[in-house]
Amino acid sequence: MNPSQTNTSLFKRLRFVLVETSRPGNIGSVARAMKTMGFSELVLVNPRFSDVLMQEEAVAFASGAQDVLKNARIVGSIAEALDGCNFAAAVSARLREFSPPILTPRVLATRLANDVEIKGALLFGNERFGLPNDVVEKCNVLINIPANSDYSSLNLAQAAQVLAYECRVAEIGDHLLERGIGFHGEAATLNQIDGMFIHLEQALIAIDFLDAAHPKKLLQRLKRLFSRTQLEMEEVNILRGIAKQILLHIKK
């Protein structure tokens, strides 16, 4: 079963909350960032425009994630936005003197993925002012993205993308490989690899690249090189085919 379809999946337990967002394009961009990572629950608290979900800029920036935008809820308070949640994380570049515990996105994502009892919300503030202190203080944790200290400014959609990505990776783990992208051949056995090295050694001696009487550490270095590649059976066969052709050419 696809992990995003299970009842306890983080994809179903996590909502993104945008507080007093000004730009319709930013809301559309957040919807896009969410959908690319498999999340769908978007809540807006007092956006600048009441018809923001239908504004051309929001729809354009959603770019294929119009369903997330269409299904977004607009509410009038933080309490409404967090209804049904038992965990809230404030996302902010600005640290407060009095704030909840500070976590990185990765640590937060791991916590959310591992505890299936959590029904969480990520809160993002206004593009210009961020989240009010009273909202941050109500949250369980404060999330600070460890960006360049000389220029730590991330726009709203970028911050949402970072959080969505970390949460996705924490949730799916080894399922990343289940998508079947790229060719994954059968791993070569140790005996096959040993046979390849014997064949390769013969070819290197035949072309005078390797002195059989004084091999030094050439073969050991080659073995070390190939050990880092996790050779597949087809790759071993290719290398043995090269060695075979070298030996045939020398005999002519």
Question: Which of the listed residues 125, 158, 179 is the one where a domain comes to its end?
Answer: 179
pLDDT value of position 62 = 94
Say whether both 146 and 196 belong to one domain. no
* Alpha helix positions (H), 73-155: 78-81, 105-114, 133-138
Say whether both 130 and 200 belong to one domain. no
pLDDT value of position 68 = 96
pTM for this one? Answer: 0.72
pLDDT value of position 96 = 73
Question: Which of the listed residues 179, 201, 230 is the one where a domain comes to its end?
Answer: 179
* Residue-range definition of the domain harbouring residue 71: 3-179
Say whether both 120 and 163 belong to one domain. yes
At residue 13, φ and ψ (nearest 5 deg) are -105, -5
3-state secondary structure of 103: strand
Say whether both 171 and 194 belong to one domain. no
The 10s digit of each residue's pLDDT in 118-160 is 999 999 999 888 899 999 989 999 999 998 888 877 899 999 9
For residue 229, the domain's CATH number is 1.10.8.590
The 10s digit of each residue's pLDDT in 164-204 is 999 999 999 855 545 555 566 788 898 999 999 999 999 99
* Interval 208-232 mean pLDDT: 87
Selection from 247, 170, 239 nearest residue 207 by Cα: 247
Say whether both 228 and 138 belong to one domain. no
User: With 80 as the cut, is the pLDDT of residue 81 above it?
Assistant: yes
Q: How many domains does the chain have?
A: 2
Q: Residue 184 domain-assigned?
A: no
pLDDT value of position 147 = 86
pLDDT value of position 176 = 55
Question: Chain-wide mean pLDDT for the chain?
Answer: 89
CA–CA dist 32, 110 (Å, integer): 23
